[in-house]
Amino acid sequence: MAANKNIHYFSRNIRPKNEQVMEKSGLRGKQALEFASLDLPILPGFIIDAEIAAHLEDFDFKKEAGIHLKKFEDVVKKRFDDPDNPLLLKIVISPNLAIVHYPTLHNFGLTDDTIPGFCGFVGETFGYHEVLFMLHGFLEIELKIAELEKKEKQRQELNRAIGELKKILEGDAGAKELKAAFAKFRGLLPREFFTSAFSQMQTALQRISLMLKLDDLDDEDAAIMVQPMVYGNYGKDSSSGSFYTRDIVSGEDLLQGWYNQNEFDTIDIEGKDINEIGSGFLKDLKKIAKTVEDHFKEIRFIRFTIENKQVWLIEQRPVMTKSTQADLKTLLDLHNRRIVDQEYLIKGIKPAQLNEILHPVVDIKSIKDFEEISGGISGAPGAAVGRVYFTTEGLLEAYKTAQLEGMDTKFILCMPATFAEDVKAIEVATGVLSSEGGYSAHASVVARQYGKVSLVKPEMRITGKKAVIDKVTVKEGDYITMNVPHYGDPQIFIGKASLIEPSPEGSGLLEYIDIVKNFTKDFHVRVNADNPHDAELAVRFGAQGIGLCRTEHMFFDEKRINVFRELIISDNTSDREGALKKLKKMQVQDFSGIFRAMDGKEVTIRLLDAPLHEFLPHNDAEMGYFLEYIKGQKKYQDLSQKEIRYRCDSLREFNPMLGHRGCRIAVSYPEIYRMQIEAIFEAAYALRDEKIKVLPEIMIPLIMNADELKLIVYGKKIEGDTYEGLTSVAEAIRKEKGGKELPYKIGTMIELPAAALSAGEIARYAEFFSFGTNDLTQTSLGLSRDDFNSFMPDYTQFDILNGNPFQQLDKNVKELIQTAVRRGLMTRPGLSKGICGEHGAVPENISFCMEAGLDYVSCSVYSVPIAMLAVAQLELERQEAAAG
């Protein structure tokens, strides 16, 4: 008998050679044929391709499929239409469109003659349940035909019957009730349907074919696939189960799942650990897992059945709930075994996914009974648990007490907004909850720098020692849990949840970054770091230098802040010099640690930038602390509290961000920058003697024109007065230390439109530009990053701005950067260029920076791996585009 050219048999390592068959097999059929080419224990089957699937009016099942049935019987050791050990079949409708859904059709071959034999293996309750399941599926086909033929009465009858059957199938009916249901509903089908297995299959295929034709799927749009059924409860040597090809949380190369002995379907039932299954079966399952994982190059979910000691793969599909760590370790494993190359590895992870590895995540099982508050503005991603405190002083005091008494030291700082003096609380807290600002607010920026979680809830109202959030009251000392995902809505849970802590060492991240670095040769990623700890961590994360060291952050430590306050209230140079001498020792120590950590890498140090008022006491407690310190200094013992308060008040400004800050402080008080330069070079020369390579880059902030920069860098003599430039200070240190001059650069931060437009003139005195995109955005658009979020929703609603300009670079800011780069290079062709604002870790911004001719981006420590991966992927895109 000649084989039908439109029926295609497949089995383990057997499939049609003609690739055109794939196109006529539908989605499910294509998957089956793809699997047939792998060394997997799949059930055999045959596909009636789309060329004839909707035209089976004269199809003779026994004649056309008999040769394939014989192969089925030989493989599964059963016989079709055999009353003692019947082979049963499933029918899979395989359309080419994923959106087309058809019923599950199992257990064909159950007839009056074969049902008793089947029940002899599985029991009457299960046996008749499967009979009804087959009947239910077939009636759904009949219902679809009735709908397509517009037979309303028949449609209503079938709907009622299907509904009753579904209720019975989903209940816990016994054999007697199931038999009664079979007797009731079998009359809906022709009598011969249950008299012959061959007749049953032929009727089923012909009705399915008619449905496809009526459903306009007769133009090669759908195929039909037939396979034998196997059962995990078909005797004592049978089981069923499911597993992931590896641990979906940790990524450990160990099967994760369960199995149940002598059970048919355990898809929703947890049984015994899959690794406890018999060693022979476990070996087979591990081989299946590795083959599937290698083929799809990802973790997969697998369902299997063991029938009479034979393992069969029933289903496999992608896993949507796996962690980024699991994805990463899978890709690294595939790469190590040379299944994928480095390029595939780089493309396999989206940059934002790395947030999950770098920050803790909430253990979902621990919050099922917690009250939940959703929404807010994500400031810094991750999860944080802690007791709420509403002031920096209160949190720090509670933290000290907890340390002394061995109590929980997890705290969350909750304030309307944070300022410079609150950094010390953010540093020890697990997270920050605020109500003002947004992604670019002070709390968010500092939280990202320290790897802490930040959430802004604009509707939160704080009164004294309690906060009201969405009608929920949180009191000081209460536990809350913040969950701030990179994508999706943030959440606050009232209570103390369990967290799954990140571990870069065990996550595969560090190994991954080592490979990523191979693709960041032409464009670099630096870090914004102000202390040795962050510098060391950034190097481990792959940072290729420091792009921004904010020196003002070094002064907010509680042991230093009052010394700096002493400096800024001093009303004469002599008193300032005394304070500067104390501060220089601290700065030398800071710079030494940072230079040591960044051995051989550029370190861009921004000299003092913050407005002086930020260092002043902001409340009575801070003022009391400062007064106590001042009274302890002999030269200030005659200074009254009133005078101290007056001096502090005299430094306050109406608009401090555009006031006496940055280089303007250096023009008024050159001794401050001189002290910082001395500290930098004293640290650098000391480390040179230890054979540590130091590459300092001195950055002058808030320059608005070339004359300003020229004065500070090179100094000036006018009418008998001398302003000592920074280069003179550096040269004096070199002479003092002796030996060869250390290489260094002096540059500026471009953060004002005027500086961007006069970049050609400024480049005469600057060896590098660092674009401070936070302030450049503020000064270009006239928007405060701390206040914009209060009315941003209105601008979003009316499409006035395309997104948040403090996350995505505004087109006008981009034009200023491009203009500055172009004009700067015309003056100084070797000019180094980068950005150090919070925009530096956003992949879309990085793409612009590369196109604009910048050399690097700089971002917070925990954003370094994200930025590096974005750069590597963009470099790959460039290479592929160049290759054509």
Token readout for 786 is 């701390």
Instruction: Please list the residues that pair with 258 across neighbouring strands.
Output: 242, 273
Among 414, 549, 836, 849, the one annotated catalytic:
836
129 among known catalytic residues: no
Among 129, 136, 359, 442, the one annotated catalytic:
442
Per the listing, tokens 């086909």 go with 141
Mention every residue, 6+ apart, whose C-beta is less than 8 A from residue 308.
Answer: 77, 234, 235, 237, 238
The angle at the Cα of 527, spanning 523 to 532, to the nearest 5 degrees, equals: 140
Torsion angle in degrees (nearest 10) through CA of 348, 351, 357, 362? -110
Query: In whole angstroms, what is the distance from residue 185 CA to residue 180 CA?
Result: 9
Largest CA distance in the chain: 118
Give the up-direction half-sphere exposure of residue 671: CA atoms within 13 A in the CB hemisphere: 16
Query: In whole angstroms, what is the distance from residue 718 CA to residue 792 CA?
Result: 49
648 among known catalytic residues: no
Query: CB–CB of 190/204 below 8 Å?
Result: no
Buried b / exposed e across 687-708, counting CB within 10 Å, b at 16+?
Answer: bbeeebebbbbbbbbbbbebeb
Consult the annotation and say whether 550 binds a ligand: yes
Query: CB–CB of 437/785 below 8 Å?
Result: yes
What's the sign of the alpha-carbon dihedral 348, 352, 355, 356? negative
DSSP β-ladder status, 105-108 and 89-95: antiparallel
Query: In whole angstroms, what is the distance from residue 559 CA to residue 540 CA?
Result: 29
The order of strands in the sheet holding 310-318 is 272-273, 256-261, 239-244, 300-307, 310-318
Query: CB–CB of 480/412 below 8 Å?
Result: yes
Consult the annotation and say whether 774 binds a ligand: yes
Consult the annotation and say whether 674 binds a ligand: no
Query: In whole angstroms, what is the distance from residue 795 CA to residue 574 CA?
Result: 52
Which residue blocks in 598-718 are alpha helix, DSSP H? Answer: 620-631, 641-650, 663-668, 670-688, 706-714
| Residues with catalytic roles | 442, 836
- The binding site for Mg(2+) comprises 751, 775
- The binding site comprises 550, 606, 751, 772-775
- The binding site for substrate comprises 550, 606, 751, 772-775
